[in-house]
Chains A and B, each alone.
Chain A
Amino acid sequence: MSGRGTIYNYGVVYDCPVRLLQQDQPFNVAVIMLDEDPGIQMYSHLPGTPVDAVPVGARVAVIFEATANGQKVPEWRVGSEPR
């Protein structure tokens, strides 16, 4: 996998059911479609992208971020290289 994709869609979460994420509200949750198969989606908070300013259709690259408990998760960043 190239680790590249496109922002297909997004919403902004203001009322999150997951306790560990409530301190970060509001936050973006974008739907990413992978270059290799646009039918495969991944979610992302799009670190670095302001809330509700998500550029639908923009190119993104995967990064790995640690959550509040240290759990590493795949995230996506607009216009960057995979890392």
Chain B
Amino acid sequence: MTPQHPPASIYRTTEGLGLWEHRGKVAAVGVGHSPTARRWDGKPETCVGAWSILALRRAIADAGVSPDQIDGLVLDPVTTTGAYWAAGDPVPLDVVNAFQPTSDPLDGIAKLSAEWIVQNMPELTNIQFVMYGPRCMSHAIVVAAQAVGAGLTHTCLVLKSWHNFEGRYYQGGANAQDAIDGTSAISRLWGTPASYGTAVQFAEYCRKYGKTHDMMAPFISNSRRNGLLFPEGYWAQHRPEPLTTEDYLAARWIAKPANLFDNDIPIMVSAAYLFTTPERARDMRQKPVYILNHASSRAAPRSLTPTLDEVEAETAKTGRKLYEGAGITAADLSFENMYDGFTLFHQFHLEGLGYRGMKFGEALDFYQTDISITGPNPVSPSGGNIGSGRSRFWMHTDCIQQLQGRAGARQITGVKPEIAVSGGPMPLGGNFTVWSATPA
């Protein structure tokens, strides 16, 4: 069982491909989450490996399958939120020895191999297919969907996990040194935080369309409100505080026009889904949610940071690809759960999709209307990263649970949940999925 990296051929990156060949033939059934934490407390039972096992076992139980039926695993071996194990720091052997280790002592602590998972989940006796889905759950979903559709696996676990250690976000490593060398100096020498690129795209957006940063406030409050209804999320579990317009407008700047609440909070968390075929899903515990299409953006900016023109061209292309492969139009979307970490690009995704007939430059006005889970035009009912912490998977969990009718207090009521879209991360460079309550 040697993990494979996905071949380029699986990604639907161009228009004109027609309906996805596996449309409606892959189903998400089980969902499992670990608890959340701001940072790792150093205990074996809360390391990223332990929480991955917990999420996987919960997804298996949720789907109601026997572990020996599972023949596939897709995961991201990189688990960092931006925090790295410092070179020279002693490895906590009590944690290493609490598990079946691999040759890398940081496996299960600061990274996660498929080998580590299989060694530490002896009940997974029938894994035949393992593939990596790098960077985030959005990517892993595409890989798993294509694998199930192609018959490479019939019952596949999809896992994404994050670790977070002490220290401030991205302030270690090269950023803490006295010199910056190599090609990274071209951008790093100017000291831009992660949200800078999105912030300047948003600044251009505001200049072009006559919008202002304060118009983001309803979106931010809506996201936190929805997140507080997500019992698996960080804010609901640890800091159940509403986020008001006043809070948002008073927040300190990070990279103006991006403030603190335009950035998501890095956390530790794992999530797992169980994908299978519609035939096998019939015998499982939860209602299947069908995948109608996936699409990927592999566009790169011409220079240091994408221009607004580049962003708008690519999000519109992503929307067209999603609809073409799913055989739907924007009017078929019950709700949207596009990525939000950073908040200031969520409107690019929305406008590219043409959600509720939206055109470029209109999203911030749309935010001033009813975008709640009880209205006819839900925006980010998951609450996303802003509502539940930086995982890049709340949006997918929410799509599955909403379409299964088991999103609990977060269940949308103003529109019947039939078809939804989620994905990210970036407008240029991401993976996106169309979900449906029915296979066609």
Interface residues of A, CB < 8 Å — how many? 32
Residue with the greatest number of chain B CB neighbours at <10 A, chosen from A9, A10, A11: A11
Within 8 A of B (CB), among A31-70: 31, 39-45, 52, 56, 67, 69
Is A43 within 8 A of B192, CB to CB? Answer: yes
Q: Is B180 positioned at the interface, with any CB of A under 8 Å from its CB?
A: yes
* A26 CB within 8 Å of chain B: yes
Structural contact, A9 and B253, CB atoms closer than 8 A = no
Q: Considering only CB atoms, which chain A residue lies closest to B174 in the complex?
A: A18
Q: In the assembled complex, how far is the CB of residue B320 from the closest CB belonging to chain A, in whole angstroms?
A: 24
Bound together, the chains give a CA A73 to CA B188 distance in angstroms of 12
| Residues of chain B in range 174-205 having any CB-CB distance to chain A below 8 Å | 175-180, 185, 187-194, 196, 199-200, 203-204
When distances are taken between beta carbons in the complex, the residues of chain A under 8 Å from B179 are 69, 71
B170 within 8 Å of A (CB atoms): yes
| Residues of the B chain whose Cβ atoms lie less than 8 Å from the Cβ of A44 | 190
Report whether A29 and B303 are in contact in the complex, using a CB–CB cutoff of 8 Å. no
Digitize B295-334: 1 where CB-to-A-CB distance is under 8 Å, 0 elsewhere: 0000000111101000000000000000000000000000
- Residues from chain B with Cβ under 8 Å of A9 in the complex: 200, 203-204
Chain A's closest residue to B253 (CB) is: A14
**SS of A interface (majority):** mixed
Q: Which residues of A contact B413 (CB under 8 A)?
A: none
A56 to B206, CA, bound (A): 13
A11 with B255, Cβ < 8 A, contacts A16-B193, A17-B171, A29-B190 known: yes
CB pair A45 B303 closer than 8 Å:
no
The minimal Cβ–Cβ distance linking B344 to chain A, given in whole angstroms, is: 11
Measured between beta carbons, the chain B residues less than 8 angstroms from A14 are: 252-256
A11→B257 contact, CB < 8 A: yes
Given A31-B304, A41-B304, A67-B189, also A17-B175 (CB < 8 A): yes
What is the bound-complex CA distance between A39 and B203, given in angstroms?
A: 18
In the complex, what distance in Å separates the CA atom of A12 from the CA atom of B169? 18
Q: Which residue of B lies closest to A29 (CB)?
A: B190
A11 touches B256 (CB 8 A): yes
**B249-275 interface code vs A (CB 8 A; 1 in, 0 out):** 000111111100000000000000000
Complex A-B: 16 CB contacts under 8 Å: A11-B203, A14-B253, A14-B256, A15-B253, A16-B191, A17-B169, A18-B175, A19-B175, A19-B176, A27-B191, A31-B200, A39-B302, A43-B189, A43-B192, A56-B207, A67-B189
Which A-B residue pairs are the 5 nearest by beta carbons? A21-B191, A41-B303, A16-B191, A12-B256, A43-B190
